[in-house]
């Protein structure tokens, strides 16, 4: 029986973990295309692109480069930056039903008992 050094086995395990992570990210199907934005790095996303001071000037520069709606991500969390009143108004007033919701609480689904806890738009207006 051949014994392998522990460092080699650790290297193989770490390599397989990273390969599976990147393969799952590459094969995952996005539901809708995301807005343009700075190119993210693997794992940390746009963390290094984010300003530590004077964020509004950097966001304004990104708005001129990428448009009114800019997409950034940090550690797998997605963020949208709105650079104009028109983009903010359109998202909030015209498409609010797509974005406004409360967390799902399966034990509290009776809207008559807990109207403030049901999902956005679930109450009937009889």
The predicted-structure confidence for 43-80, as pLDDT tens digits, reads as follows: 888 889 888 888 889 989 999 999 999 999 888 788 88
Asked whether the predicted pLDDT for residue 5 surpasses 60, the reply is yes
Q: Which domain holds residue 74?
A: 36-94
H or E, element range at 39: none
Overall pTM > 0.75: no
Residue 108 near residue 115, CB atoms below 8 Å: no
In a domain, 5, yes or no: no
Asked whether the predicted pLDDT for residue 31 surpasses 50, the reply is yes
How many domains is the chain built from? 2
Are 85 and 116 members of one domain? no
Residue 17 near residue 8, CB atoms below 8 Å: no
**Nearest CA-CA partner of 118 in 3, 106, 51:** 106
Q: List residues bridging with 82 in a β-sheet.
A: 69
Percent of the chain whose predicted confidence (pLDDT) is above 70: 67
DSSP state at residue 111: T
Are 61 and 83 members of one domain? yes
Asked whether the predicted pLDDT for residue 109 surpasses 50, the reply is yes
Q: How far apart are CA 49 and CA 40, in angstroms?
A: 8
In a domain, 64, yes or no: yes
């Amino acid at each position: 029986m051949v014994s392998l050094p522990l460092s080699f086995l650790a290297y193989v395990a770490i390599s397989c973990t990273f390969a599976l992570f990147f393969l799952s990210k590459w094969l995952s199907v996005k539901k809708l295309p995301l807005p343009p934005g700075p190119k993210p790095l693997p794992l940390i996303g746009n963390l290094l692109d984010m300003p530590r001071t004077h964020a509004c000037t950097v966001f304004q520069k990104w708005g001129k480069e990428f448009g009114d709606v800019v997409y950034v991500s940090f550690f797998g969390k997605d963020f949208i930056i709105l650079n104009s009143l028109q983009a903010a108004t359109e998202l909030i007033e015209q498409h609010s039903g797509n974005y406004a919701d409360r967390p799902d609480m399966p034990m509290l689904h009776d809207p008559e008992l807990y109207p403030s806890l049901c999902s956005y738009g679930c109450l009937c207006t009889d």
